[in-house]
Amino acid sequence: MMACNLETPQMASVTDDTPKPPNPGLCRTCQHSRRIESDRGSIFTRCELSLEDPQFPKYPRLPVLACSGYRPKPA
């Protein structure tokens, strides 16, 4: 007779050491933001409004929680 193991198999603990991109806050849904990925896989959020208006930083400190330049992306 064959034995039947009804125990739930234990999952190996998986550690993901991949760095996560920071939460961009408002930039995530802003039409002025561009997601930039470097050759080494780092992810940045660039504000393209900075090209027209120097009061906006090219690479804003994330998360952006309030911004006068915020314009939602079209649906």
Residue 47 CB neighbours (<10 A): 20
For ligand SF4, the closer of residues 18 and 68 by Cβ is 68
CA 35 – CA 57 distance, rounded (Å): 15
For ligand SF4, the closer of residues 15 and 52 by Cβ is 52
The distance of closest approach from Cβ of residue 15 to ligand SF4 in the complex, given in angstroms and rounded to an integer, is: 32
The distance of closest approach from Cβ of residue 19 to ligand SF4 in the complex, given in angstroms and rounded to an integer, is: 21
For ligand SF4, the closer of residues 9 and 33 by Cβ is 33
